[in-house]
Structure 1
Amino acid sequence: MVRKKGVYGIAIVALICFLLIVFCTKEPDTVRISHNFQAIEFEDVDVIGEDISIDKIIDTQRLRLERKFDVFKFVTNKTFNKLSMLSGGQPLRTIIVTTWRSGSTFLGDVLNSLPGNYYHYEPLLHYGIMQIRGPPHADTAIKTLKNLLNCDYTDLENYLTFGMSHIYLFTHNKRLWTQCEAYPQYCWNATFLNEFCRLFPFQSMKVVRVRLRLIEELLSDKRLNTKVILLVRDPRGTLQSRRHRDWCPGEPDCDRPDLLCADMVSDYSAAIKFNKMYSRRFRTLRYEDLSLSPYKVVQDLFDWIGINVHPEIKEFLDTHTTVNVGGVSSTYRDSKNVPFHWKNDLNYTEIQSIEATCEEAMKLWGYVKTKGPKLRDFNPLTSYTIK
């Protein structure tokens, strides 16, 4: 009897050991990283490691993008392959042209909340705090923009070198940055960037250092077929907002009202020309109008671009237009009040000084001069036309 119990005990121990061996040697589940940035879901990463090839990354992302197109009809009568450069198509490209502290971060994030969008965030950061109005920087700046829109990083050494030490150049492109975190060996690799960029059916870009007149070289390129939004803001609001940035004071192109408003007048003149020559691919937008009616304006913008409004875009607006969260660069804002903070933050002498300097620009863009220091119920907006 004792011998039988001993045999049974040995058998049980052996079975337990066998089960432990099987369990411990079982292949682990695929590692998955879920990233969230401003309530928008990143492209997932399947495999993390140094051995994965560029081709494997590209193939994986291509399948994900194709599945998104199977689930939602982004563009009427256009398949994913017709919009992906890797398949011989051309993406829908949209450029925001504006200046610092004029609402472009918010509008840029609205466009980037579209699944399948590749975001070129302020690609001229390496030029510093300057406005490019012509020589000596115009040619190289426009070439940089054109190369990026063509997904050609090959000759962009200055751009990539700057980005290595200023990673926010890439972090705003959340779909790219997810890959950078998983595969840092490829993040600044031109070959990888060329291929990854060419996957995407939509591209957006925001530019705050080039004046509108110079953008004609991009508008006139029929192959790019890009659409351009000139984003304008009340100079009183722009200058008030710039006060909160430590990089602005002492920089003439940033803190001088005369230069800001001369650029607004110049942009208006270029807008007249573009409105006639590129009426289907150019439009203007005031930041105040976007802030007061975000859902209506965004719907109108996407109709104009030719893309159906995805639920994630509406989710972005739901979470970013009703409360103030974060610092001065946050896009979580009570959108109806943000554009008009200047009425409280600037004293009346400062307001009058800006208005005297910017009288022509304000008149062209439909901004009303104050009539006294009591501004609580003052409406600074009127209509404007481009003609």
Structure 2
Amino acid sequence: MSKCRGSMRRSFYAVLVLFIFCVLLFWRKLSAWKVLNLSTTEQHPGAIAARIHGTKFDAVNNRPPFIILMAQWRSGSTVLGELLNRNPELFYMFESLWPAARLRELRNISRGTIASKEISRDILRGFAKCEFATDFVKIYRRWGGSRLNENLCHGNRTSCRMHSVEDLDNFCQSFQGRLATKIIQADLELLKPLVTEDGINLKIIHLVRDPRGTAASRINYLKASYREILNILQRIPPLSDRLKPLGLLDNVPKEILQFQEIRENNPTVRGLCNWIRENTKLSPDSLPEWLQGRYHLVKYEDFALAPLQEAQRIYEFIGMPFTTHLKGFINNITHPKSSNPSIFSTSKNAQATANKWKKYLTLQERRQITKECLDVLQFLGHEPNSTSATPQSS
């Protein structure tokens, strides 16, 4: 009888231990489920959309990609950036590296140095973490371009949610890592450490444009922006070269360095084509390991010819849905009923804009650009001696 009781007691304890183990296991699974299924009323819409649409998150830091539109001055980046700016699920910053020039001045750092590049990287690191520096916020807030950030400012600089570092940090964090920016003062060398050293999940949209189109747009921009440029242009004979006198061909005259766009960008055709040579990757096979799956090339002329198709590819690359709202917006600004003639407008017939250079550049200017950039024109699929900006069919 005592043996029977002992056996029953041991069976009871075994069942009890098994029951406790099952309870603990169930509780652990329940806790994990709660973490992964936060109440949607407490999340930003971007976070909800990310889960619904099955966004690919970075395996290292479990965050959505930090999207960077990398381009050059007057290459069509503003209109392409609107693809990201008008997405309510993204926190987009227009030219987030704009304050870098002022920060260099304050710290007495020369442009192009290692320290200068670190200033730009620190800005991007802070943005990726939603941890903005006080001096960055002060400078960016005062800049007129800041009002172009749709979700941040809604077109009105006085209503921008960056009255303090805390305001901007909190607003950024509400997007749950869905961040994007356009930069025109960077290259792959500057961005590489953000991936290899900081582990940031970058997605780089690399925009390139026919150098002839970019050069024509730069002449037009300077002419529309500075009275002094008009005075210089009046001294130039008709149908001759404007590129060299304006510092847009190979070397920059001292009198032109007074203009910030010339000082802070890559103004010359020679510099532009070097940038294209060093950064453009036509085939996935040519990508270094750190860039694989992180790089998407967009030719402005392809976008101008088929905006919706190119935009769809961009959204597939960043892992977000290309919504009906965005399709309508892109169609409206690339095929408007009436184009805005302003140099600063983003609402223009895209294909006409891409081909505008053939009527604007003189024969001498076209020959100068071809001489500097023959290999680049061929590399990008453009006919060097053609007056059309439409790429050759492959």
Structure-1-length-normalised TM-score: 0.69
Report the CA distance between 1:294 and its aligned residue: 0.7
Give the corresponding residue for 1:317: 330
Question: Is the Cα–Cα contact under 8 Å of residues 75 and 307 in structure 1 kept in the other structure?
Answer: no
Alignment of 1:3-82 (within 5 A): 63=41, 66=44, 76-77=53-54
Question: Is the Cα–Cα contact under 8 Å of residues 219 and 227 in structure 1 kept in the other structure?
Answer: no
The answer as to 2:294 corresponding to 1:281 is yes
Give the corresponding residue for 2:118: 139
Question: Is the Cα–Cα contact under 8 Å of residues 301 and 389 in structure 2 kept in the other structure?
Answer: no
Letter in structure 1 aligned against 2:349: D
Counterpart pick for 1:165 among 113, 117, 142:
142
Q: CA 1:103–1:352 in 2, change beyond 3 Å: closer, same or farther?
A: same
Count of aligned pairs between the two proteins: 307
- Determine the C-alpha separation between the residues in 1 that align with 2:362 and 2:155: 47
Give the corresponding residue for 1:120: 93
- Determine the C-alpha separation between the residues in 1 that align with 2:70 and 2:47: 29
- Determine the C-alpha separation between the residues in 2 that align with 1:179 and 1:289: 29
Give the corresponding residue for 2:129: 150
Give the corresponding residue for 1:190: 165
Alignment of 1:252-291 (within 5 A): 253-268=265-280, 275-277=287-289, 278-291=291-304
Counterpart pick for 1:368 among 371, 383, 386:
383
Alignment of 1:222-237 (within 5 A): 223-237=199-213
Q: CA 1:132–1:274 in 2, change beyond 3 Å: closer, same or farther?
A: farther
Q: CA 1:221–1:91 in 2, change beyond 3 Å: closer, same or farther?
A: farther
- Determine the C-alpha separation between the residues in 1 that align with 2:381 and 2:216: 19
Give the corresponding residue for 1:92: 65
Indicate the SS of the match to 2:180.
strand
Give the corresponding residue for 1:294: 307
Q: CA 1:380–1:198 in 2, change beyond 3 Å: closer, same or farther?
A: same
- Determine the C-alpha separation between the residues in 1 that align with 2:45 and 2:267: 47
Q: CA 1:276–1:78 in 2, change beyond 3 Å: closer, same or farther?
A: closer
Bigger helix fraction: 2
- Determine the C-alpha separation between the residues in 2 that align with 1:321 and 1:183: 28
Indicate the SS of the match to 1:299.
helix
Report the CA distance between 1:89 and its aligned residue: 6.5
Deviates more, 1:334-343 or 1:243-252: 243-252
- Determine the C-alpha separation between the residues in 2 that align with 1:369 and 1:123: 34
- Determine the C-alpha separation between the residues in 2 that align with 1:77 and 1:255: 41
Report the CA distance between 1:272 and its aligned residue: 7.7
Give the corresponding residue for 2:188: 212
- Determine the C-alpha separation between the residues in 2 that align with 1:191 and 1:307: 28
Counterpart pick for 1:177 among 138, 153, 158:
153
Question: Is the Cα–Cα contact under 8 Å of residues 212 and 270 in structure 1 kept in the other structure?
Answer: no
The C-alpha deviation readout for 1:8-51, integer Å capped at 9, x for no partner, is: xxxxxxxxxxxxxxxxxxxxxxxxxxxxxxxxxxxxxxxxxxxx
The C-alpha deviation readout for 1:109-151, integer Å capped at 9, x for no partner, is: 1112222210121112134599965534111111111111211
Indicate the SS of the match to 2:114.
coil
Q: CA 1:222–1:126 in 2, change beyond 3 Å: closer, same or farther?
A: closer
Report the CA distance between 1:313 and its aligned residue: 0.6
Q: CA 1:224–1:353 in 2, change beyond 3 Å: closer, same or farther?
A: same
Give the corresponding residue for 2:392: 382
Residue segments in structure 2 that go unaligned for 5+ positions in a row: 1-39, 105-109, 227-245, 247-255, 257-261
Give the corresponding residue for 2:369: 354
Indicate the SS of the match to 1:289.
helix
Report the CA distance between 1:180 and its aligned residue: 7.8
The C-alpha deviation readout for 1:268-308, integer Å capped at 9, x for no partner, is: 37998972422211121111111111111111111121111
Question: Is the Cα–Cα contact under 8 Å of residues 132 and 210 in structure 1 kept in the other structure?
Answer: no
- Determine the C-alpha separation between the residues in 1 that align with 2:122 and 2:282: 20
The C-alpha deviation readout for 1:294-346, integer Å capped at 9, x for no partner, is: 11111111112111112221121121111222511211111111111110000
Report the CA distance between 1:364 and its aligned residue: 2.4
Question: Is the Cα–Cα contact under 8 Å of residues 71 and 206 in structure 2 kept in the other structure?
Answer: yes
Q: CA 1:257–1:183 in 2, change beyond 3 Å: closer, same or farther?
A: closer
Indicate the SS of the match to 2:66.
strand
Q: CA 1:67–1:209 in 2, change beyond 3 Å: closer, same or farther?
A: closer
- Determine the C-alpha separation between the residues in 1 that align with 2:361 and 2:158: 46
Q: CA 1:367–1:74 in 2, change beyond 3 Å: closer, same or farther?
A: farther
Give the corresponding residue for 2:358: 343
- Determine the C-alpha separation between the residues in 2 that align with 1:166 and 1:322: 30
Report the CA distance between 1:165 and its aligned residue: 2.6
